[in-house]
Protein backbone atom coordinates (compact mmCIF):
# COMPACT_ATOMS: atom_id res chain seq x y z
CA UNK A 1 0.00 0.00 0.00
CA UNK A 2 2.84 2.30 0.91
CA UNK A 3 4.41 1.64 -2.50
CA UNK A 4 1.12 2.50 -4.30
CA UNK A 5 0.96 5.74 -2.34
CA UNK A 6 4.54 6.68 -3.29
CA UNK A 7 3.84 5.95 -6.98
CA UNK A 8 0.75 8.18 -6.83
CA UNK A 9 2.83 10.85 -5.10
CA UNK A 10 5.35 10.80 -7.98
CA UNK A 11 2.54 10.99 -10.54
CA UNK A 12 0.95 14.06 -8.93
CA UNK A 13 2.53 15.44 -5.74
CA UNK A 14 0.20 18.44 -5.39
CA UNK A 15 -2.92 16.32 -5.74
CA UNK A 16 -1.71 13.81 -3.15
CA UNK A 17 -0.60 16.55 -0.76
CA UNK A 18 1.14 14.25 1.75
CA UNK A 19 4.44 12.37 1.90
CA UNK A 20 3.08 9.21 3.53
CA UNK A 21 -0.42 7.73 4.02
CA UNK A 22 -2.44 8.85 7.05
CA UNK A 23 -1.46 7.15 10.34
CA UNK A 24 -3.78 4.76 12.19
CA UNK A 25 -4.08 7.42 14.91
CA UNK A 26 -5.28 10.07 12.47
CA UNK A 27 -7.61 7.56 10.80
CA UNK A 28 -9.17 6.65 14.18
CA UNK A 29 -9.55 10.32 15.11
CA UNK A 30 -11.37 11.04 11.83
CA UNK A 31 -13.59 7.93 12.13
CA UNK A 32 -14.51 8.69 15.75
CA UNK A 33 -16.23 11.92 14.60
CA UNK A 34 -18.67 9.99 12.40
CA UNK A 35 -22.17 9.75 13.84
CA UNK A 36 -23.09 6.06 13.84
CA UNK A 37 -26.65 6.96 12.87
CA UNK A 38 -25.31 8.06 9.44
CA UNK A 39 -26.94 6.14 6.60
CA UNK A 40 -24.45 7.14 3.93
CA UNK A 41 -20.86 8.22 4.44
CA UNK A 42 -18.91 9.73 1.56
CA UNK A 43 -15.13 9.65 1.73
CA UNK A 44 -13.23 12.14 -0.44
CA UNK A 45 -9.64 11.36 -1.45
CA UNK A 46 -9.43 8.03 0.42
CA UNK A 47 -6.05 7.30 -1.18
CA UNK A 48 -4.85 3.90 0.03
CA UNK A 49 -7.85 3.41 2.34
CA UNK A 50 -6.35 3.87 5.81
CA UNK A 51 -9.31 6.02 6.93
CA UNK A 52 -11.76 3.75 5.07
CA UNK A 53 -10.53 0.84 7.18
CA UNK A 54 -10.97 2.90 10.36
CA UNK A 55 -14.55 3.74 9.31
CA UNK A 56 -15.29 0.02 8.91
CA UNK A 57 -13.73 -0.71 12.31
CA UNK A 58 -15.96 2.00 13.80
CA UNK A 59 -19.00 0.08 12.58
CA UNK A 60 -19.86 1.73 9.26
CA UNK A 61 -20.73 -0.99 6.72
CA UNK A 62 -19.11 -1.19 3.28
CA UNK A 63 -22.56 -0.80 1.68
CA UNK A 64 -22.95 2.58 3.42
CA UNK A 65 -19.67 3.90 2.02
CA UNK A 66 -19.05 5.88 -1.17
CA UNK A 67 -15.36 6.42 -1.97
CA UNK A 68 -14.46 9.20 -4.42
CA UNK A 69 -10.83 9.18 -5.56
CA UNK A 70 -9.28 11.05 -8.49
CA UNK A 71 -6.19 8.88 -8.94
CA UNK A 72 -7.09 5.89 -11.15
CA UNK A 73 -4.58 3.45 -9.64
CA UNK A 74 -5.64 4.30 -6.08
CA UNK A 75 -9.32 3.98 -7.06
CA UNK A 76 -8.49 0.48 -8.40
CA UNK A 77 -6.73 -0.40 -5.14
CA UNK A 78 -9.78 0.77 -3.13
CA UNK A 79 -12.14 -1.36 -5.26
CA UNK A 80 -10.10 -4.46 -4.58
CA UNK A 81 -9.62 -3.73 -0.86
CA UNK A 82 -13.26 -2.77 -0.21
CA UNK A 83 -15.33 -4.65 -2.83
CA UNK A 84 -18.74 -3.84 -1.35
CA UNK A 85 -18.23 -0.06 -1.23
CA UNK A 86 -19.21 2.18 -4.13
CA UNK A 87 -15.90 3.44 -5.55
CA UNK A 88 -16.07 6.38 -7.94
CA UNK A 89 -13.00 7.49 -9.88
CA UNK A 90 -13.48 11.20 -10.32
CA UNK A 91 -12.90 14.77 -9.25
CA UNK A 92 -14.52 16.17 -6.10
CA UNK A 93 -15.31 19.40 -7.97
CA UNK A 94 -17.88 17.33 -9.97
CA UNK A 95 -19.24 15.67 -6.85
CA UNK A 96 -22.91 16.40 -7.35
CA UNK A 97 -23.10 14.70 -10.76
CA UNK A 98 -20.85 11.83 -9.78
CA UNK A 99 -22.49 10.93 -6.49
CA UNK A 100 -26.09 11.99 -6.94
CA UNK A 101 -26.77 11.91 -10.69
CA UNK A 102 -30.53 11.61 -10.07
CA UNK A 103 -30.62 14.11 -7.21
CA UNK A 104 -31.30 11.29 -4.75
CA UNK A 105 -30.90 11.35 -0.97
CA UNK A 106 -28.37 13.73 0.60
CA UNK A 107 -25.24 12.42 2.33
CA UNK A 108 -25.12 12.39 6.16
CA UNK A 109 -21.36 12.60 6.65
CA UNK A 110 -18.39 13.47 4.44
CA UNK A 111 -14.92 12.41 5.55
CA UNK A 112 -12.24 14.21 3.59
CA UNK A 113 -8.49 13.80 3.11
CA UNK A 114 -8.52 16.30 0.23
CA UNK A 115 -5.52 18.66 0.31
CA UNK A 116 -7.81 21.72 0.36
CA UNK A 117 -5.04 24.20 1.16
CA UNK A 118 -2.97 22.99 -1.85
CA UNK A 119 -5.80 23.93 -4.19
CA UNK A 120 -6.20 27.26 -5.96
CA UNK A 121 -8.83 29.39 -4.24
CA UNK A 122 -11.37 28.94 -7.05
CA UNK A 123 -10.87 25.15 -7.11
CA UNK A 124 -11.27 24.98 -3.33
CA UNK A 125 -14.48 27.00 -3.56
CA UNK A 126 -15.81 24.75 -6.37
CA UNK A 127 -15.12 21.59 -4.33
CA UNK A 128 -16.63 23.00 -1.13
CA UNK A 129 -19.77 24.26 -2.90
CA UNK A 130 -20.30 20.72 -4.16
CA UNK A 131 -19.56 19.25 -0.73
CA UNK A 132 -22.20 21.35 1.01
CA UNK A 133 -24.73 20.88 -1.77
CA UNK A 134 -24.71 17.06 -1.42
CA UNK A 135 -24.48 17.17 2.38
CA UNK A 136 -27.66 16.88 4.42
CA UNK A 137 -28.89 20.06 6.18
CA UNK A 138 -27.64 18.65 9.52
CA UNK A 139 -24.72 16.80 7.95
CA UNK A 140 -21.08 17.13 8.87
CA UNK A 141 -17.84 17.47 6.90
CA UNK A 142 -14.86 15.96 8.75
CA UNK A 143 -11.59 17.30 7.35
CA UNK A 144 -8.00 17.08 8.47
CA UNK A 145 -5.22 19.54 7.83
CA UNK A 146 -1.47 19.68 8.39
CA UNK A 147 -1.70 23.44 8.77
CA UNK A 148 -1.92 25.30 12.09
CA UNK A 149 -4.73 27.26 10.42
CA UNK A 150 -8.25 26.11 9.62
CA UNK A 151 -8.63 24.04 6.42
CA UNK A 152 -11.51 26.36 5.45
CA UNK A 153 -10.77 30.01 6.18
CA UNK A 154 -13.41 31.90 8.17
CA UNK A 155 -14.50 34.15 5.32
CA UNK A 156 -14.87 31.18 2.97
CA UNK A 157 -16.88 29.32 5.63
CA UNK A 158 -19.25 32.29 5.96
CA UNK A 159 -19.55 32.51 2.19
CA UNK A 160 -20.60 28.82 2.26
CA UNK A 161 -22.86 29.53 5.26
CA UNK A 162 -21.21 26.90 7.47
CA UNK A 163 -19.35 26.92 10.75
CA UNK A 164 -16.38 24.87 11.83
CA UNK A 165 -14.34 23.87 14.82
CA UNK A 166 -11.17 21.98 15.52
CA UNK A 167 -11.87 18.79 17.45
CA UNK A 168 -8.43 17.31 17.99
CA UNK A 169 -4.77 17.40 17.06
CA UNK A 170 -3.01 14.12 16.27
CA UNK A 171 0.71 14.19 16.94
CA UNK A 172 1.26 10.61 15.82
CA UNK A 173 1.06 11.43 12.14
CA UNK A 174 3.63 12.65 9.65
CA UNK A 175 3.29 15.60 9.83
CA UNK A 176 1.00 16.10 12.87
CA UNK A 177 -2.55 16.89 11.78
CA UNK A 178 -5.64 18.58 13.15
CA UNK A 179 -9.16 17.30 12.64
CA UNK A 180 -11.92 19.85 11.99
CA UNK A 181 -15.66 19.50 11.55
CA UNK A 182 -17.85 21.79 9.45
CA UNK A 183 -21.56 22.07 8.87
CA UNK A 184 -24.60 24.31 9.00
CA UNK A 185 -25.43 23.15 12.54
CA UNK A 186 -21.87 22.82 13.88
CA UNK A 187 -21.05 25.02 16.87
CA UNK A 188 -17.95 27.12 16.54
CA UNK A 189 -15.23 26.82 19.18
CA UNK A 190 -14.34 30.14 20.78
CA UNK A 191 -10.76 28.93 21.29
CA UNK A 192 -9.88 27.11 18.07
CA UNK A 193 -6.29 26.58 19.16
CA UNK A 194 -7.28 24.59 22.21
CA UNK A 195 -9.35 21.66 21.01
CA UNK A 196 -10.65 19.81 24.07
CA UNK A 197 -9.35 16.35 23.33
CA UNK A 198 -6.03 17.33 21.78
CA UNK A 199 -3.55 14.48 21.57
CA UNK A 200 -6.11 11.87 22.58
CA UNK A 201 -5.15 9.98 19.43
CA UNK A 202 -1.40 10.46 19.69
C1 LIG B 1 -3.53 13.12 1.58
S2 LIG B 1 -3.89 11.98 0.28
C3 LIG B 1 -4.89 10.74 1.03
C4 LIG B 1 -4.39 10.12 2.24
C5 LIG B 1 -5.23 8.92 2.64
N6 LIG B 1 -5.96 9.21 3.87
C7 LIG B 1 -4.31 7.71 2.82
O8 LIG B 1 -3.97 7.41 3.94
O9 LIG B 1 -3.93 7.11 1.83
C10 LIG B 1 -5.13 12.90 -0.62
C11 LIG B 1 -5.94 12.09 -1.62
O12 LIG B 1 -6.91 12.95 -2.22
C13 LIG B 1 -6.99 12.65 -3.61
N14 LIG B 1 -7.48 13.87 -4.30
C15 LIG B 1 -6.86 15.09 -4.39
N16 LIG B 1 -7.62 15.96 -5.06
C17 LIG B 1 -8.78 15.30 -5.37
C18 LIG B 1 -9.97 15.69 -6.05
N19 LIG B 1 -10.14 16.93 -6.54
N20 LIG B 1 -10.96 14.78 -6.19
C21 LIG B 1 -10.82 13.51 -5.69
N22 LIG B 1 -9.70 13.08 -5.04
C23 LIG B 1 -8.69 13.96 -4.89
C24 LIG B 1 -5.56 12.29 -3.99
O25 LIG B 1 -5.50 11.55 -5.19
C26 LIG B 1 -5.11 11.51 -2.76
O27 LIG B 1 -5.39 10.15 -2.86
- Residue-by-residue DSSP string for 113-131: ---GGGS-HHHHHHHHHHH
Distance 38 CA to ligand 1 centre (A): 22
The helix-helix angle for 24-31 and 50-58 (nearest 10°) equals: 50
Q: What is the per-residue pLDDT across 164-190, written as a single tens digit (0 to 9) for each?
A: 999 999 999 999 999 999 999 898 875
The model carries a pTM of 0.93
Task: Provide the CATH topology of domain 2-183.
Answer: Rossmann fold (3.40.50)
> Long-range contacts of range 128-133, CB-CB < 8 Å, 24 or more positions apart?
128/152, 128/156, 128/160, 129/160, 130/92, 130/93, 130/94, 130/95, 130/96, 131/44, 131/92, 131/95, 132/160, 132/161, 132/162, 132/184, 133/95, 133/96
82 close to 54: Cβ distance less than 8 angstroms:
no
Q: Which residue ranges make up each domain of the chain?
A: 2-183
Q: CA-based Rg of the chain, rounded to a whole angstrom?
A: 15
Q: What is the per-residue pLDDT across 58-101, written as a single tens digit (0 to 9) for each?
A: 999 999 999 999 999 999 999 999 999 999 999 999 999 998 75
User: CA angle, 45 as apex, 44 and 51 as ends, to 5°?
Assistant: 85
Taking residues 117-121, report their average pLDDT.
94
Question: Quick one: pLDDT band at residue 192, thresholds 50, 70, 90?
Answer: very low
Distance 190 CA to ligand 1 centre (A): 30
Q: What does the mean pLDDT of the chain come to?
A: 91
**123 CB within 6 A, ligand 1:** no
Amino acid sequence: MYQRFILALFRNPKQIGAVVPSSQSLARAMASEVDLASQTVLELGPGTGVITQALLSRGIKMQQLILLERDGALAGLLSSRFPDTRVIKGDASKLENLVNPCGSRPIDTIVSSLPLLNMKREDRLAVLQQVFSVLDEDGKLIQFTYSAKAPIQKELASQLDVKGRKVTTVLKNLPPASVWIYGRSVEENSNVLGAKNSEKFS
